[in-house]
């Protein structure tokens, strides 16, 4: 059976594209080499860090991230999102100017936001609108939503190549389980996107950027917000669990214990390194690949933050033929055009 759209990659990006396109009435096939959300998405710190960015081609896109997640929550009841706000300090010597969605707060206010801090910093950047997600839970909910709108989902099906027709247009994908035809192919394969494009003569400047996620056993209520400082990104994900994106297990554990009261028994449970898809200039690559008609790319860093927005906008471009202004700075050929 042919689809209007074949989406390669059921990480948080591909799942969001599939959900939004299926919801808009498109016949979607979502295919992944493994399980939905089993790629980098599974090891993400998953902060919806939408505040504070003022510059760059994706600044306006990022500014919509929170609003788009709030919309998605209304569409998909039970979406595992928490709105705790984020608190950052110590990343610059002096307080920065507050960016969009941020305010500078003093030690007294910090102490009310994070009561277990031993020594609240003199100032911190408070972003009350920031949140975080269970990234696998969100991906699974998006896949379930796509299915409810008629999408076919093919887990455990590695895509081996993109097939083009005689005119050079994308015609579908070759997989380990046979050919999946589709009028349009969206590559949302994260760090693997470049390798899938190589045989087409299409260079996509995205590579793997390793980052480590630590999991800790911790007392209930130790950390209330998303905390970001020189030592870690840290948040509580369950009554007895913390996660941190950081560098060294020993240093991170020592920093958690010395930063919070009642943290002496915090215990490292595990660490996983994952390869984040990182475009060469750090900015999203979202849009059609001009060299291969019918091929569309959706790969970005900070994809958890951007997934709700990107999924809706990509679906709008593909289903309605709209050119979304928020994506125009994110095209593959941006360097050639500047």
Ligand X SMILES: Cc1cc2nc3c(=O)[nH]c(=O)nc-3n(C[C@H](O)[C@H](O)[C@H](O)COP(=O)(O)OP(=O)(O)OC[C@H]3O[C@@H](n4cnc5c(N)ncnc54)[C@H](O)[C@@H]3O)c2cc1C
Which residues contribute to the site for ligand X (CB under 6 A)? 8-14, 31-34, 38-41, 43-47, 49, 158-159, 188-190, 192, 196, 211-213, 245, 274, 276-277, 299, 301-305
Decide whether 219 or 242 has the Cβ nearer to ligand X. 242
> Minimum CB separation from ligand X for residue 32, in Å?
4
Question: Rounded distance, CA 164 to CA 295, Å?
Answer: 10
> Minimum CB separation from ligand X for residue 213, in Å?
4
> Minimum CB separation from ligand X for residue 245, in Å?
4
What CA dihedral angle connects 179, 181, 184 and 187, to 10 degrees?
-20
> Minimum CB separation from ligand X for residue 165, in Å?
21
Question: Rounded distance, CA 60 to CA 100, Å?
Answer: 11
> Minimum CB separation from ligand X for residue 271, in Å?
10
Decide whether 192 or 289 has the Cβ nearer to ligand X. 192
Distances (CA, A) of 105 to 120, 135, 205: 11, 29, 39
> Minimum CB separation from ligand X for residue 220, in Å?
22
Decide whether 27 or 33 has the Cβ nearer to ligand X. 33
Decide whether 8 or 256 has the Cβ nearer to ligand X. 8
Decide whether 34 or 57 has the Cβ nearer to ligand X. 34
Contacts of 152 (CB under 8 A, 6+ apart): 1, 3, 28, 29, 30
Q: What are phi and psi of 207, to 5 degrees?
A: -140, 170
The residue with its CB nearest to ligand X is 11
Distances (CA, A) of 124 to 85, 223, 232: 12, 15, 15
Decide whether 56 or 109 has the Cβ nearer to ligand X. 56
């Amino acid at each position: 059976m042919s689809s209007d759209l074949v989406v390669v990659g059921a990480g948080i990006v591909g799942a969001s594209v599939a959900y939004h396109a299926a919801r808009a009435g498109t016949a979607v096939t979502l295919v992944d080499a493994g399980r939905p959300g089993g790629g980098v998405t599974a090891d993400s710190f998953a902060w919806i860090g939408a505040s504070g960015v003022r510059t760059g081609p994706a600044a306006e896109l990022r500014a919509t991230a929170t609003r788009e997640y709030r919309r998605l929550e209304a569409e998909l009841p039970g979406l595992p999102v928490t709105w705790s706000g984020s608190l950052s300090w110590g990343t610059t010597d002096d307080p920065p100017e507050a960016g969009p969605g941020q305010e500078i707060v003093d030690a007294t206010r910090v102490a009310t936001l994070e009561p277990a801090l031993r020594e609240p910093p003199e100032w911190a950047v408070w972003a009350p609108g920031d949140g975080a997600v269970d990234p696998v839970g969100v991906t699974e909910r998006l896949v379930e939503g796509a299915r409810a709108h008629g999408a076919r989902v093919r887990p455990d099906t590695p895509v081996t190549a993109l097939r083009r027709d005689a005119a050079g247009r994308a015609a579908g994908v070759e997989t380990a389980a046979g050919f999946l035809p589709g009028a349009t192919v969206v590559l949302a394969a994260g760090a693997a996107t470049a390798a899938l494009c190589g045989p087409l003569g299409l260079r996509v400047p995205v590579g793997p950027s390793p980052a480590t996620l630590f999991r800790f056993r911790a007392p209930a209520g130790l950390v209330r917000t998303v905390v970001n400082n020189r030592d870690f990104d840290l948040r509580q994900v369950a009554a007895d669990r913390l996660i941190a994106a950081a560098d060294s297990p020993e240093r991170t554990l020592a920093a958690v214990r010395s930063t919070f009261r009642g943290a002496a028994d915090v215990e490292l449970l595990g660490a996983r390194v994952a390869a984040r898809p990182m475009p060469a200039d750090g900015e999203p690559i979202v849009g059609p690949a001009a060299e291969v008609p019918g091929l569309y790319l959706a790969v970005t860093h900070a994809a958890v933050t951007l997934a709700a927005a990107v999924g809706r906008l990509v679906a709008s471009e593909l289903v309605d033929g709209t050119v979304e202004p928020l994506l125009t700075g994110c095209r593959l050929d941006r360097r050639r055009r500047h």
